[in-house]
Structure 1
Amino acid sequence: MSKNNYKAHLALLGANVIYGANHIIAKGVMPNKIGPSAFVFLRILGASLLFWIIKSFIKEKVDKKDFPLLILCGLLGVASNQLLFFHGLNLTSPIDASIIITAVPVMVLIFSAFLLKEKITTNKLIGITIGAIGAILLIWYGKKAEGTSSVLGNIYVLLNACSYALYMVLVKPLMKKYNPITIISWAFLFGFIFMFPFGIQDITTTNFEAFTLNTYLAVAFVVLGTTFLAYLFNIYALSKVSPSISGSYIYLQPVVSFIMVSLYAFVLGYNEYSQDINLIKIISCLMVVVGVYMISKKPRKKLA
């Protein structure tokens, strides 16, 4: 594995650790302190400003013929992706959301095969199968426990997974042509335009005076971590590795969420989370890690 590939895998690891932690951190302030649409408004606005500050140092023009694809990436990868996920997370449990999002690698592999003609290797098929079994086990046993699951919320998260998977595949050709910062800056600008009608009313009615220090810290984590840094890591990785490898790291999110829930339950004393911890879920999380490894592992070259 080359040095650039190592950096790409580290970036993907960092992004999905952030995403996994986001499930429970963002859930903790919705909807009592801030509504999902208002939260997304702050996410996209804050990250857009940061991306365009960096973009000001990169003098690169985009061909007019590429703007329709950038607009579509803004719609799928920023606006609909974030609105659907946060509305889904607002309604359902953090563990459910992190499990459902593992549908992304399968969708990415399918979209890549059709749109990018990417070859589906044996390793990728085995990895997706192992990871999927782990995810199914989590769903099966998760449904047996009491919790805050919601059918509508789960549907929103599933639609979010479809939107994000298609974005990851569509944005890949742009990676070969432009600097990743150029692409993500324009995508967030267009995403903000699409999101604005949905978020403006929610943000203007948000009672910021009711925010506590923990609320501000959660919002800062979502804007700086989940949005700015995670998108930056993902966009960098996509310029180095295939969409299917990038998508496979999403299998780590249930593992991170599971660890976060364990910390909240057994270290911080949030007893409502303790009923979600059992041996089957631990085994399931280990399976998704193995799935990531298999998908990202390159087949050995045969010696002549």
Structure 2
Amino acid sequence: MSKRTLALLAAFAATVIYGLNHTIAKDVMPDYVKPFGFIFLRVAGAAILFWCIAPFAPKQKIDPKDWGRIIICGIMGMVINMLAFFKGLQLSTPINSAVLVTITPIIVVLLSAIFIKEKITVQKGLGIFLGLVGALALILFGAEIRADAPNIPLGNFLFVVNATVYGTYLILAKKLISKYHPFVLLKWLFTIGLIVNLPITFSEVSEIQWTTLPVHIYGAILFVVLGTTFCTYLFNAFALTQLKASTVGAFVYVQPLVGVCFAILTGKDSLTQIKIIAMILVIFGVYLASKPVKPNL
């Protein structure tokens, strides 16, 4: 099997894990572990694992002038981004999260236009418009009465915050990713995330009743720490060594399909007309916004 094929499988596996995460993480919160406490477990587990594999990476010293960017990326990518997503997942539903997190490419296009003056074409502009209409439709009209989703509009808004912050993180981290080995960079990003998250999340971690957790909840926590955090970063890092970033990014279209199907099959969520319309708008909008524009001949 070629390295390119392995890279494609790695990117696909990471996307499937993300898709399953919407329902699996939702199962744990808030009855067993509250969202902020879950983030501590996720970041602490990933930090330990990346420090364990860091010796296998080339020895690299961080340039002093890069520490400011690394700290900002750690706060955005491993603190604000994760806290917003998991709190949103507690308040909203798995299908809503699976749909709304895919607007990240649209956010990246918008932020790139603002910060690095990338041109927005008519095609990209239409994609941004359709994607944002779909997101707004879920936020404003996607509310349902559900005991496990106490504030769907706020939860959906937090998913958009998550996508916006993560999009900013991707733009800021782009320079660092090209300069440092993924293991070296990620061990520092997660360490910074752990330090910043500690005072925010400690009270919820201390509330976890470890001795009374069911076995399947231990399994779900392990899946989120080992799978959703550690493995996905490893898989995507490997995929990027063999594939273009745009190819890896294209797998974002698979995530809502996996997330929606898994949520429905497990009986954790259901499709409504507004969810279907919003999903079509978001996916088509992301496709237009991220599709390369052919130059005029």
Deviations 1:235-283 (A, max 9, x none): 55667645x8766654543332211122113xxxx6xx3xx32577556
Classify the secondary structure of the residue corresponding to 1:197. Answer: helix
Does residue 153 of structure 2 align to residue 116 of structure 1? Answer: no
Distance in 2 (CA, whole Å) between partners of 1:233 and 1:125 is: 31
CA distance change for structure 1 residues 156 and 104 in 2, over 3 Å: closer, same or farther?
A: same
CA distance change for structure 1 residues 93 and 182 in 2, over 3 Å: closer, same or farther?
A: same
CA distance change for structure 1 residues 296 and 104 in 2, over 3 Å: closer, same or farther?
A: closer
CA distance change for structure 1 residues 110 and 280 in 2, over 3 Å: closer, same or farther?
A: closer
Further displaced range: 161-170 or 196-205: 196-205
Does residue 100 of structure 2 align to residue 106 of structure 1? Answer: no
The answer to whether the 8 Å contact 1:180/1:236 transfers is: no
* 1:1-150 equivalence runs, <5 A: 11-58=10-57, 59-121=59-121, 123-129=123-129, 131-132=131-132, 135=135, 142-143=142-143, 145-147=144-146, 148=149, 150=151
Classify the secondary structure of the residue corresponding to 2:28. Answer: coil
Task: List alignment gaps of at least 5 residues for structure 1.
Answer: none
Q: Shift of residue 299 of structure 1? A: 4.1
Residue in 1 aligned with 2:181?
179
Q: Shift of residue 137 of structure 1? A: 5.9
Q: Shift of residue 289 of structure 1? A: 4.7
Aligned to 1:170, which of 162, 169, 172? 172
Aligned to 1:253, which of 252, 255, 260? 255
Q: Shift of residue 231 of structure 1? A: 2.6
RMSD of equivalent CA atoms = 3.2
Classify the secondary structure of the residue corresponding to 1:173. Answer: helix
CA distance change for structure 1 residues 236 and 203 in 2, over 3 Å: closer, same or farther?
A: same
CA distance change for structure 1 residues 295 and 241 in 2, over 3 Å: closer, same or farther?
A: farther
CA distance change for structure 1 residues 220 and 152 in 2, over 3 Å: closer, same or farther?
A: same
Distance in 2 (CA, whole Å) between partners of 1:141 and 1:159 is: 18
Q: Shift of residue 38 of structure 1? A: 1.6
Deviations 1:106-158 (A, max 9, x none): 22112122333434355544544555555566667743x54426133333333
Aligned residue pairs, count: 290
CA distance change for structure 1 residues 126 and 7 in 2, over 3 Å: closer, same or farther?
A: farther
Letter in structure 2 aligned against 1:70: I
Does residue 230 of structure 2 align to residue 228 of structure 1? Answer: yes
Further displaced range: 188-197 or 287-296: 287-296
* 1:138-287 equivalence runs, <5 A: 142-143=142-143, 145-147=144-146, 148=149, 150=151, 151-235=153-237, 241=244, 249-250=251-252, 252-265=254-267, 273=269, 276-278=270-272, 281-282=275-276, 285=279
CA distance change for structure 1 residues 295 and 106 in 2, over 3 Å: closer, same or farther?
A: closer
Classify the secondary structure of the residue corresponding to 1:176. Answer: helix
Letter in structure 2 aligned against 1:77: G
Distance in 2 (CA, whole Å) between partners of 1:257 and 1:179 is: 31
Q: What TM-score, normalized to structure 2?
A: 0.82
Letter in structure 2 aligned against 1:18: I
Higher RCO (CA 8 Å, separation ≥ 6 residues): 2
Distance in 2 (CA, whole Å) between partners of 1:7 and 1:71 is: 32
Distance in 1 (CA, whole Å) between partners of 2:11 and 2:138 is: 23
Distance in 1 (CA, whole Å) between partners of 2:249 and 2:78 is: 16
CA distance change for structure 1 residues 236 and 112 in 2, over 3 Å: closer, same or farther?
A: farther
Distance in 1 (CA, whole Å) between partners of 2:296 and 2:10 is: 30
Distance in 1 (CA, whole Å) between partners of 2:122 and 2:181 is: 32
Q: Shift of residue 54 of structure 1? A: 1.7
